[in-house]
Structure formats: structure tokens, C-alpha cells
């Protein structure tokens, strides 16, 4: 049921209609603006995560809001990182009572797992976040948008400035739909030409000394793994792509920024050159390795919702074929989204079960440490969704009888590639038949699990209380699993 | 015992993470090392760990254990413990005629073979006699690093300093119908250097090459793999031979050239190798 692209969009969705042409958007400081905005109990405040673990804005805003003695605040952030640890204190004090995000890691995730938050966390997908807003399920009272560069009428971009982060795809929804939208920038200029979000959606502008720590915003350069096991998995994954039947001129591709995923890009580039195959587009979070492929004309276009490194930021600034896209265009089920046109996506897993269900939300011991992000969006959209993982890591196996949390349904996962063999979802008989004609080390997922169990054993069952601390939403808004407090 | 030894991968005997994953890198042979990669204060733990790993895990590759040299106090202990395990070969460092005879005696009653490591100037000069010292001795590896220390010369990427030793050990091994493995290429970041060095070893007559890093195995295997052209040519020779047999011809030609027994044997070896490593089935992976 998940693999079909929704052709009929029966759901009525909201459309952005804001047109704020005021020339008086600038405010001298955040304190004054928050006084003017009259922050109330029960408000929903939104933030984007393009500054990742270098973000200063969420903490800076919340520090001021807490001073105003409000409570029952919902944080609707596209992702939460370890740098947002001050939220833990606010959660414990009942100031923040709910977090809704696609990805939560660090101390905030730990606090939620420990049952400290008053309401349950809602963990959606990147595409699901847009759907939540468009459908009216989440109504943003104030969006705080960290902007690396902004002009006097509120046009903004992530491509320039000391805190440049590249594409600002996750901020677009917030700007379009929030009742009030505030831009917080450390680079206010007179007039911006290269616009990612138009000023008509912006109500207020505040300039601060710094919106983030550059070291946390981008990684500088991301490198392919040196781990020989990761490299073997990457080579096998490239072979899977090669023999899948979808590797032909015009194919499309997405991979993440993990060391093994980057190694897949590296080997895929070599294969494309050798076989003289050119792709149509690569998408997603973009790294320098994917930029290399664009510049080598191996792909026609890059659709970029988020830049992962400095090379990606340089490219999106300079190359017209490196195109920033919104989270809606990226993965919203009610939009003509890019992920639905993908041929291949390379994804990771903390756990995968015998039905190919994947957990990327919790650790293998059950604590929240991530979330779907675009995992289940891309798995749903792509023709071949490939999970790459070591069969075990430090004695912890990846294949379980049942995953602790079903982040991505097994119906949408096609292939698991490990260092000791490749398992194809039995639903994909076409791929199995193709791979049988090659030397790919084809095994069933049960066989791979047996190998793993024989080497590292079966871990003890993890026990939880009955208390639900989080709800995991699929991209269409349906509840796919619950997260429980640990015993 | 395997007869395809394109690549031999050294795994430190005291590294449990590498030991458990040692057969995922597609090396034809794995060498669990108790010697150079194991510090003196870990000799016992490495020996115990390797023994336990061999007891617990069934490896698909050929298994070799490098024991400590004959003149060290660890040698006898290593051999005594390891010979109880299910392994194919013991790699004897700094081999001499005397040490091969000793090891051979110690291995009586087992099916474990000996592979000698030729890594001294005397070892190179004596290589024929060392290889011939025991029926249990199936082949050799050249150890370039230690040899260069003994020769008082610098080990270089070009490897001219090893030219004599390489030629000598290859000749001795083939004279005795034993296998011969080249020394590792130690710069793990130089992929093209590795390929050149491996191609050179293959051109001299080495059957395979040792490696100290799993990342080198794919490149080494590829160099020693028969090429598609070689496989196709070998197939045609075998087909022509089969036709000649049917027609009762003792001698036959292909493409205007006489095909004699050594050519047929070489063709059969190529087909056997290509089948075993899966190249006949379909695409090279």
C-alpha cells in the first residue's frame, strides 16, 4: 500500500497566500520583538535545522521566551540536535511540553526517552512535516527562521554569509504557513538577488551577532569510509545498482552523507564513466561527491533540500543546475515530489527485521537517537530502496526478529546489502531473478540473520514500560509505531 | 587445500574485530599472524584468541597461521597449540632448512602443510633446499621488508632491490612445482602503485601477492584474475582439443598455430580458475 504514488490527492490542503509588503520589518533586538509579539502559553514555535549542530537560534529564542514566564510551548523543529540541550531544562519545568520533529538526537532525545516530556513527541518524516502543516494538523504560531543572509524586505538565502548553509529547503514551509514569521540573521544586506524564500512571507527581521557555529553547520569536507568492510558494502551496493535493470541513461539517485553512502557515490561514479551512463538527477542532502558527479556531467541536475558540506554550498551558489528545492518539492506526499521520481536511494539502518522493516529512530537499546528524516519518504518513492549496513557492529547485530521501532515499512525496502551477502525483499521477484544471473552473493534475510546470530549471538530483549513517549508518523500521517519509556 | 592463491591477507592475531571479519574481504587465503603484528606482551593472548576463533568460526578461505620464528621462545608453544586447530598451512618466518625439518616433525600426524617465508639473504640463496626440505612444504612467500634489512638496502616502491630475490624464489618454486607468493605492497594509499607492483609480480611468475590491508585485496585479485580475452581463448583451445580427440587427431592447430600440451594445460588452468572464482558464470563483480 505504501509503494504506490498517491495520484488522487483527496486531502484538502492549505496554500500559502501571505503577501506582507511592509518596509518596516526590521526590529532592533529579539527581546523587543518578543515583547511586541506577546508570547502566550500553548503556542507552537517552529525552527529549521539547516544549521544542524551549530544552531544558535533555537536556544537564543527559547532563552528569551522562558524569561516571559510562559508554559506549554510546542517546539515544531524540523530536527533537534545535541546543541539544543537547554531544552531539557525547559521540558523538565513544563515550559516545553511537546516536540514535533523529523529527527531528534542528543540530550533532548534522552529526556524524551526517559519520559520527562509532558506530551508525547511526534516524529514525522521530512515530507510529512509539510503535510502536517498543509493539512492544518499543526498550526505554527511563530516561525523563527535562521537566515545566513537576508535583505531589508526579508528575502533570504542560505548561500552567502559567514553562517552559509546552502539550500534552506526545510525553512520554506515555515515561512509560507506560520501566522507570524521572524527572520533571525547575522548578515543583513540591502538587496538580495539570489532569493530562496521571498520577503513577502516574512513579517519581522532581527539581526544578531551570530546565528550559528560554522563548525557545526557544515562538516567542511565529508570523506568516504576507510573501513574495508564499509568499502566492500559500497562495492556490492554499486553492483546491485549495476544489475538492477534501472541503471541506464536518465536514471536518478540519492544517497546520504555517511561514509559508506559516500563510498557508493565514489564507486558509482567510476561505474558510470566505465559504462558511459549518464543520470538525470541526484537529490537529497548533497555532498561534494555528488557535486563532483554533476561537474563531471554524470548527472544533469542536483535537487538539493540541504547541503552537507562546503563543496555543496559552493556548487549551489555557482552552478545553475544545482537547484535548491523546498521540503515539499523534495518529499511531500501531496506535492509532485522529487523522491517519487527516484530510481535508487541508499539508506542506513540501526535495525532491520525479517520483514525488512527498518528502525532509524532508536538505538538498538531503545533510546531515541534519530528519526526518519527523509528515510521513509525516499524508500517509498524510489524504485529500488537499498539499505546498507554491516551485519553487526561491535557485537550488535543489525538484523532482528522485530525492530524496536518501525520507522520505515518493509514493503518499501527492496534490498539489504551487508558485507556477508545481499538479501532482496521477496516481493521484488524481478530483482531476485536478475541477481541470480550474476555473481552477487544473494542470500535470504533469514540466512543473513543466521550467519549473524552464529557469530555474535542474539541480544537480550529490551524491556519498556507501558508509557508512550512518542508517536512515529508515516509520510501520509498514519501512525506507524509508538515509542515507549524504557524500564 | 586451495590451489588458487591470488591474495593472502595478514590479520593481526590479537585483533578480535578483524579476526571475526577476516573472510569478508575475498582474500583467497587468510594469514592469522602471531609474529610481527603482535607485541611481545600479547603473544599469549593472540595465540589463545586465534585458537578460539578457529574453534568457533568456519572460514570459507584457506587458513594459514604465521607462527613466531624458530629461534624464539614462542615458536614451540605456537606450533603446539595451533596444530590442534583446523588450519591448512603454517607460515614459517625466516625459514631455514633446519627449521622446516623441525616444523615438519612437529606436524606429524596432522594434515597441516608448511609455507615458508623467505626473508633473509641466506634464505634466498638456500630457497631451493628450504622448499625441498619437506614434502609437507607446499610453497613460499617472499618477505621484502625483512630481506631489505638483511641486505642493508632501502625498500623502494620500484622494488629493484628485490629483483634478484624475486627471480630466484619464483624459479625455485616452479622448479619444485610449488606455489610462490609475492611480498606485500606496504603503501595502502597508493592504489596505482599496488596495481603496478602486482602486475610486475604476476609477470615474473608469482601465483599471488600478500597484503597487510583488506582494502588491497580487490585490486590484487583483479590483477591475478584471467582476463575475458584469456578466458575466451582458453575456451577455444579446450573446444579445439575436444574436437581433435573426437576426430582422432593427436596434434592440432588453432588460428594457424600448433597447440601442444603446455598450452592445453595452461588453458585448462585458466578455465578452472575462472570457474572457481565465478568468472565463467557471468559478469565480473
B283 chain-A contacts, CB cut-off 8 A: 243, 438-439
Name the pairing type of β-strands A26-27 and A180-185: unpaired
Q: Does B262 touch chain A (CB under 8 A)?
A: no
Per-residue pLDDT reduced to its tens digit, A307-353: 999 999 999 999 999 999 999 999 999 999 999 999 999 999 999 99
Give the other-Cβ count within 10 Å of B17's Cβ.
11
Counting one residue from chain A and one from chain B, the pairs whose CB atoms sit within 8 A come to 34
Which of A226, A235, A439 is opposite residue B282, by nearest beta carbon? A439
CB contact under 8 A, A228 and B213: yes
For position A218, what pLDDT does the model report? 81
Residue B245 has pLDDT above 90, yes or no: no
Per-residue pLDDT at B279 exceeds 60: yes
| Closest residue to B281, CB basis, from A232, A239, A439 | A439
State pLDDT tens for residues B71-129: 999 999 999 999 999 999 999 999 999 999 999 999 999 999 999 999 999 999 999 99
Q: What is the distance between the alpha carbons of residues B91 and B88, in angstroms, rounded to a whole number?
A: 10
Q: Which residue among B20, B57, B282 places its CB closest to the CB of A438?
A: B282
Burial A323-340 (b: 16+ CB within 10 A, else e): bbbbbbbbbbbbbebbbb
A440/B285 CB distance under 8 A: yes
Q: Does B278 touch chain A (CB under 8 A)?
A: yes
CA distance A439 to chain B (A): 6
Residue B280 touches partner A, C-beta closer than 8 Å: no
Across the interface, do B285 and A239 touch by the CB < 8 Å criterion? yes
Facing A439 at nearest CB: one of B20, B25, B285: B285
Q: Report whether A13 contacts A485 (CB < 8 A).
A: no
pLDDT one-digit tens code per residue, A184-234: 999 999 999 999 999 999 999 999 999 999 888 887 667 888 899 999 999
- In the 8-state DSSP scheme, what is residue A411? G
User: Nearest CB to B24: which of A239, A419, A440?
Assistant: A419
3-state secondary structure of A258: coil
Contact A353, A402 (CB under 8 A): yes
B3 has pLDDT over 90:
no
Distance of residue A356 Cα from the nearest chain B Cα, in angstroms: 23
- Say how far apart CA A155 and CA A201 lie, in whole Å: 9
B75 touches A at CB < 8 Å: no
Distances (CA, A) of A301 to A3, A282, A290, A312, B251: 25, 7, 10, 13, 62
**Cβ <8 Å between B282 and A437:** yes
Minimal Cβ distance to A232: which of B25, B213, B282:
B25
pLDDT at A259: 87
Return the closest-CA partner of residue A254 out of A126, A341, A332: A341
Considering only CA atoms, give the Rg of chain B: 20
Residues of A within 8 A of B278 (CB-CB) are 439
The pLDDT of B237-245, averaged and rounded, is: 89
pLDDT-derived band at A391, boundaries 50, 70, 90: very high
A40-96 confidence digits (pLDDT tens):
999 999 999 999 999 999 999 999 999 999 999 999 999 999 999 999 999 999 999
**Partner A contacted by B228 (CB < 8 A):** no
The Cα of A126 is separated from the nearest Cα of chain B by a number of Å equal to 36
Tell me, what's the pLDDT at B255?
A: 87
B276 — contact with chain A (CB < 8 Å)? no
DSSP secondary structure string for all residues of B138-188: EEEEE-HHHHHHHHT----SS-GGGHHHHHHHHHHHHHTT-EEEEPPP--T
Measured between CA atoms, the residue of chain A closest to residue B216 is: A228
* pLDDT given at position B285: 33
A260 interfaces chain B, CB cutoff of 8 Å: no
Question: According to DSSP H, which parts of A178-320 are helical?
Answer: 214-217, 228-242, 259-275, 288-295, 310-318
Cα separation, B12 vs B19, in Å, equals: 8
Mean pLDDT (chain B, rounded)? 93
**B17 interaction partners in chain A (CB closer than 8 Å):** 394
Look at residue B283 and tell me whether its pLDDT is greater than 80: no
User: Which residues are CB-contacts of A157 (< 8 A; sequence separation ≥ 6)?
Assistant: A147, A148, A149, A150, A168, A192, A194, A195, A196, A197
Note the pLDDT tens digit of each residue in B26-77.
Answer: 999 999 999 999 999 999 999 999 999 999 999 989 999 999 999 999 999 9
Least reliable range by pLDDT among A188-197, B163-172, B245-254: B245-254
- pLDDT tens string B199-214: 999 999 999 999 999 9
Provide CB contacts within 8 A for B216, sequence distance 6+: B7, B184, B185, B188, B194
pLDDT of residue A394: 86
In 3D, which of B69, B121, B128, B66 has the Cα closest to residue B97?
B128
- Give the predicted TM-score (pTM) of the model: 0.92
Any CB–CB contact under 8 A between B40 and chain A?
no
- Which pLDDT score is estimated for B253? 85
pLDDT at residue B282, as a whole number: 45
Scanning the structure block, which residue is given the C-alpha cell 631489505? B148
Is A419 in Cβ contact with B285 (below 8 Å)?
no
Q: Does A421 touch chain B (CB under 8 A)?
A: no
- Taking only the tens place, the pLDDT of each residue in B175-195 is 999 999 999 999 999 999 999
User: Using the beta-carbon criterion (under 8 Å), do A420 and B281 form an inter-chain contact?
Assistant: no
Chain B CA closest to residue A230 = B215
Q: What is the pLDDT of residue A222?
A: 75
Residue A11: predicted pLDDT: 64
What's the pLDDT at A9?
A: 54
Could you tell me the pLDDT band of residue A7, with boundaries at 50, 70 and 90?
Answer: very low
Check CB contact under 8 Å for A440 and B215. no
Q: pLDDT value at position A223?
A: 83
Amino acid at each position: 500500500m505504501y509503494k504506490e504514488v498517491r495520484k488522487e490527492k483527496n486531502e484538502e490542503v492549505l496554500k500559502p497566500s501571505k503577501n506582507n509588503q511592509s518596509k518596516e520589518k526590521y526590529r532592533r533586538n529579539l527581546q523587543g520583538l518578543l515583547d511586541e509579539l506577546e508570547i502566550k502559553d500553548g503556542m507552537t514555535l517552529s525552527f529549521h535545522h539547516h544549521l544542524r549542530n551549530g544552531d544558535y537560534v533555537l536556544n537564543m529564542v527559547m532563552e528569551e521566551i522562558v524569561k516571559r514566564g510562559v508554559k506549554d510551548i510546542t517546539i515544531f523543529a524540523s530536527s533537534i540536535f545535541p546543541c539544543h540541550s537547554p531544552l531539557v531544562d525547559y521540558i523538565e519545568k513544563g515550559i516545553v511540553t511537546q516536540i514535533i520533529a523529523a529527527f531528534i538526537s542528543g540530550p533532548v532525545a534522552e529526556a524524551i526517552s526517559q519520559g520527562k516530556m509532558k506530551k508525547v513527541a511526534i516524529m514525522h518524516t521530512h515530507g510529512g512535516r509539510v503535510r502536517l502543516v498543509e493539512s492544518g494538523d499543526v498550526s505554527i504560531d511563530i516561525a523563527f527562521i535562521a537566515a545566513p543572509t537576508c535583505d531589508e524586505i526579508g528575502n533570504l538565502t542560505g548561500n552567502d554569509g559567514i553562517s552559509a548553509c546552502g539550500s534552506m529547503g526545510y525553512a520554506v514551509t515555515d515561512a509560507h504557513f506560520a501566522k507570524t514569521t521572524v527572520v533571525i540573521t547575522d548578515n543583513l544586506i540591502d538587496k538580495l538577488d539570489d532569493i530562496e524564500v521571498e520577503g513577502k512571507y516574512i513579517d519581522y527581521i532581527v539581526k544578531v551577532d551570530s546565528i550559528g557555529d560554522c563548525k557545526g553547520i557544515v562538516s567542511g569536507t565529508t570523506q568516504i569510509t576507510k573501513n574495508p568492510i564499509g568499502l566492500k558494502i559500497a562495492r556490492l551496493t554499486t553492483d546491485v545498482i549495476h544489475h538492477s535493470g534501472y541503471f541506464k541513461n536518465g536514471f536518478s539517485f540519492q544517497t546520504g552523507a555517511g561514509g559508506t553512502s559516500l563510498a557508493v557515490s565514489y564507486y558509482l561514479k567510476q561505474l558510470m564513466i566505465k559504462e558511459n551512463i549518464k543520470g538525470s538527477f541526484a537529490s537529497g542532502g548533497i555532498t561534494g561527491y555528488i557535486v563532483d558527479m554533476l561537474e563531471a556531467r554524470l548527472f544533469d541536475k542536483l535537487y538539493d533540500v540541504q547541503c552537507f558540506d562546503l563543496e555543496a554550498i559552493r556548487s549551489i551558489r555557482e552552478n545553475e543546475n544545482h537547484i535548491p528545492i523546498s521540503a515539499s518539492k523534495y518529499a511531500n506526499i501531496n506535492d509532485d515530489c522529487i523522491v517519487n521520481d527516484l530510481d535508487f536511494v541508499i539508506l542506513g539502518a540501526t535495525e532491520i527485521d525479517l520483514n525488512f522493516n527498518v528502525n532509524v529512530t532508536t538505538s538498538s537499546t531503545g533510546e531515541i537517537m534519530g528519526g526518519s528524516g527523509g528515510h521513509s519518504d525516499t524508500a517509498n518513492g524510489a524504485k529500488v530502496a537499498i539499505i546498507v549496513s554491516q551485519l553487526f557492529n561491535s557485537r550488535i547485530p543489525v538484523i532482528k526478529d522485530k525492530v524496536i521501532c518501525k520507522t520505515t515499512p518493509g514493503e518499501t525496502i527492496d534490498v539489504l546489502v551487508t558485507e556477508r551477502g545481499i538479501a532482496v525483499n521477496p516481493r521484488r521477484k524481478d530483482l531476485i531473478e536478475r541477481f541470480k544471473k550474476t555473481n552477487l552473493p544473494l542470500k535470504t534475510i533469514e540466512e543473513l540473520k543466521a550467519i549473524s546470530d552464529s557469530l555474535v549471538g542474539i541480544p537480550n530483549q529490551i524491556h519498556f514500560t507501558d508509557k508512550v513517549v512518542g508517536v512515529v508518523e508515516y509520510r501520509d500521517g498514519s501512525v506507524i509505531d509508538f515509542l515507549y519509556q524504557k524500564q | 587445500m586451495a590451489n588458487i592463491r591470488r591474495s593472502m591477507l595478514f590479520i593481526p592475531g590479537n585483533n578480535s574485530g578483524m579476526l571475526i571479519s577476516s573472510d569478508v574481504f575475498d582474500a583467497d587465503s587468510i594469514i592469522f599472524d602471531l609474529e610481527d603484528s603482535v607485541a611481545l606482551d600479547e603473544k599469549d593472548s593472540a595465540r589463545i584468541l586465534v585458537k578460539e576463533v578457529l574453534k568457533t568460526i568456519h572460514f570459507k578461505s584457506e587458513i594459514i597461521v604465521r607462527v613466531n620464528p624458530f629461534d624464539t621462545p614462542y615458536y614451540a608453544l605456537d606450533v603446539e597449540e595451533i596444530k590442534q586447530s583446523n588450519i591448512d598451512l603454517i607460515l614459517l618466518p625466516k625459514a631455514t632448512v633446519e627449521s622446516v625439518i623441525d616444523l615438519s616433525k612437529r606436524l606429524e600426524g596432522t594434515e597441516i602443510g608448511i609455507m615458508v617465508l623467505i626473508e633473509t639473504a641466506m634464505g634466498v640463496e638456500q630457497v631451493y633446499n628450504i622448499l625441498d626440505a619437506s614434502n609437507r612444504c607446499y610453497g613460499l612467500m617472499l618477505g621484502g621488508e625483512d630481506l631489505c634489512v638483511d641486505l642493508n638496502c632501502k625498500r623502494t616502491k620500484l622494488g629493484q632491490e628485490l629483483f634478484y630475490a624475486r627471480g630466484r624464489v619464483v624459479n625455485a618454486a616452479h622448479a619444485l612445482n610449488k606455489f610462490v607468493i609475492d611480498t606485500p605492497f606496504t603503501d595502502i594509499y597508493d592504489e596505482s602503485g599496488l596495481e603496478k607492483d602486482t602486475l610486475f609480480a604476476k609477470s615474473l611468475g608469482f601465483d599471488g601477492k600478500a597484503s597487510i590491508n583488506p582494502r588491497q585485496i580487490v585490486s590484487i585479485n583483479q590483477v591475478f584474475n584471467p582476463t575475458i580475452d584469456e578466458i575466451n581463448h582458453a575456451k577455444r583451445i579446450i573446444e579445439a582439443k575436444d574436437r581433435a580427440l573426437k576426430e582422432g587427431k593427436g596434434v592440432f592447430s588453432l588460428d594457424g598455430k600448433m597447440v601442444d600440451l603446455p598450452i592445453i594445460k595452461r588453458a585448462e588452468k585458466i578455465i578452472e580458475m575462472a570457474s572457481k572464482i565465478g568468472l565463467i558464470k557471468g559478469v565480473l563483480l
